[in-house]
């Protein structure tokens, strides 16, 4: 073969048994699973709401995001917010109380206070104004 310089196209033909290679079955797409102990913020969180919360002083945005976390877990607009939960997440109770008040004054939440119980906080829609 070293001296043979003729072109033979049959040499390059794919064998019949190799032409019909079955394709692998398509895998069904799955949504990514979160491990059980991981918490995540469920959205969508309206951007106008976030913009107004970002303009507030102190930890108002952090407390607002905690409220959105609660809303995502419960599926309800009104959530029960306990100041001890904020303290467990690293926000002192006095700071959390001040932040909740700022969110209320900004019109982002409405609060129903009951003595000896947590706050019933309703997340309101923020107008883009």
Give tens-digit pLDDT for 96-113: 999 999 999 999 999 999
Q: What is the pLDDT of residues 34-89, one digit of tens each?
A: 666 677 778 788 999 999 999 999 999 999 999 999 998 888 999 999 888 899 99
Helix, strand and coil percent figures for the chain, each rounded to 5: 40, 10, 50
Per-residue pLDDT at 99: 96
CA angle 49, 50, 55 (to 5 degrees): 105
Distance between first and last Cα of the chain: 83
Contact 81, 37 (CB under 8 A): no
How many CB atoms are located within 10 Å of the residue 69 CB? 16
pLDDT value at 31 more than 80? no
The DSSP bridge partners found for residue 120 are 80, 112
pLDDT value at 120 more than 90? yes
d(CA 34, CA 6): 63
In order of start, what are the domains of the chain with their CATH numbers?
47-123 (1.10.10)
Confidence of residue 17 (pLDDT cuts 50, 70, 90): low
d(CA 81, CA 118): 6
């Amino acid at each position: 073969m070293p001296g043979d310089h003729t072109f033979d196209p049959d040499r390059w033909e794919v064998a019949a048994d190799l032409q019909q290679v079955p394709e692998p079955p398509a895998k069904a797409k799955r949504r990514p699973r979160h491990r059980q102990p991981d918490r995540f913020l469920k959205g969508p969180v309206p951007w106008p709401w976030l913009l107004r919360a970002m303009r507030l002083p102190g930890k108002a945005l952090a407390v607002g995001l905690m409220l959105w976390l609660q809303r995502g877990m419960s599926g309800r607009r009104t959530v029960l917010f306990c100041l001890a939960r904020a303290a467990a997440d690293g926000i002192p109770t006095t700071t959390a109380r001040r932040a909740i008040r700022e969110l209320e004054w900004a019109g982002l939440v409405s609060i129903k206070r009951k003595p000896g119980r947590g706050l019933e906080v309703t997340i309101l829609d923020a107008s883009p104004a």
